[in-house]
Amino acid sequence: MEMLNNYPSGDMRQTVHEGRDYEMTLSRTLKSALLGVAALGLTVPALADQLSDVKAAGKITTATDMHYAPFDMLVDGNYQGMTKDLFDGVAKQIGAEPVYQDIPWTAELPGLEVKKFDIVIAPVTITPERLQRYAFSLPIADATVALVHAAGNTSLKKPEDIKGKTVGVQQGTAQFKQLQAFGEKLGGVTVKEYGTTDEAYADLAAGRLDAVAGSLPNLAYLVKARPETFALFEPATFGQPTYFAWVLRKDKDSESYVKAINDALLKMTDDGRVKAIQEKWLGTYTALPREVPTK
């Protein structure tokens, strides 16, 4: 009797049996679920990361307008300028070869958005409106808007003298918007848009314009190269101080890439390469913000 009492009754044996079946079924279900998750994981693509993609490809595809001296120029068919010198150093720091493409300015930002390029290295003025849509690198140069006139035109001296005059400027630029606002403040300026600054300079030299508006570095380089043809207003600049930078996509995938670009620029600043490049192309050095300006 005592030995029999050590074993479960018939009802109890049935309950134990059902419990074991349930445990085995649950175990098989869990194993199947885990295998399913593993199998699913094999088909889910890894999270996108632009920096990893660039390093894996071994190249950085860029876009710029190669008609924007001293930043971007074609000399005897060869690309050169301040932008190239800067980005050569950045690309080397990242560990990828730069691929330089000559793209019209009006097609650069739209092309960046649809991922035709990894970065727009044309000097682009940082504005609050653009900051809402794009990520920017650290500033690469001063971009404060300035004015240049024909060297023989002594009637134009200070920026306010452009009232009632015809002034050329590259279309779609921040300098265009600042010129428009300045002209309205003065009481009227005829603004003529150009696809490239070279076209505007040609019309100014030919007497078809009274002045050309652009960033101070561009116009200072122009006057240095052709003092017999062009002269800066005195003072040359008007409006708020602004900066040039490079443009990148503003999304989660690009965050590490943007940081790598900026880290490289900071390293080049700290070891003196940025100063040397500025002095080579601009004849002077301007200390730049170590953070992206937000205003």
pLDDT category, 240, cuts 50, 70, 90? Answer: confident
As a whole number, mean pLDDT of residues 43-60 equals 81
Residue whose pair of structure tokens reads 């150009």 in the numeric block:
194
Domain locations along the chain? 50-141+244-282, 145-237
pLDDT at 9 over 90: no
Equal fold, 50-141+244-282 vs 145-237: yes
Q: Which candidate, 139, 159, 138, 136, places its Cα nearest to that of 149?
A: 159
Report whether CATH 3.30.1600.10 matches the domain 145-237: no
Q: Which candidate, 250, 42, 43, places its Cα nearest to that of 136?
A: 250
What backbone phi and psi angles, to 5 degrees, belong to 15? -65, -45
Beta-ladder partners of 167: 191, 211
Q: 131 is written with which tokens?
A: 């900051």
Over the chain, what is the mean pLDDT? 87
Q: d(Cα 166, Cα 191) in Å, to the nearest integer?
A: 6
Dump pLDDT digits (tens) for 179-233. 999 999 999 999 999 998 999 999 999 999 999 999 999 999 999 899 999 999 9
Beta-ladder partners of 141: 244
pLDDT at 47: 58
Query: Distance between alpha carbon 246 and the CA centroid of its chain, in Å?
Result: 3
- CB distance 97 to 42 below 8 Å: no
Q: d(Cα 239, Cα 255) in Å, to the nearest integer?
A: 32
Tell me which long-range contacts 176-180 makes (C-beta under 8 A, separation of at least 24). 176/213, 178/145, 178/213, 178/238, 178/239, 178/240, 179/145, 179/213
pLDDT at 58 over 70: yes
pLDDT at 37: 42
> Out of 3.30.420.10, 3.50.50.60, 3.40.50.720, 3.40.190.10, which CATH number does the structure's domain 50-141+244-282 have?
3.40.190.10
pTM, whole model, 2 decimals?
A: 0.72
Beta-ladder partners of 98: 60
- Please report, as a single letter, which amino acid is at residue 205: A
Q: Are strands 119-125 and 59-63 parallel, antiparallel or unpaired?
A: parallel
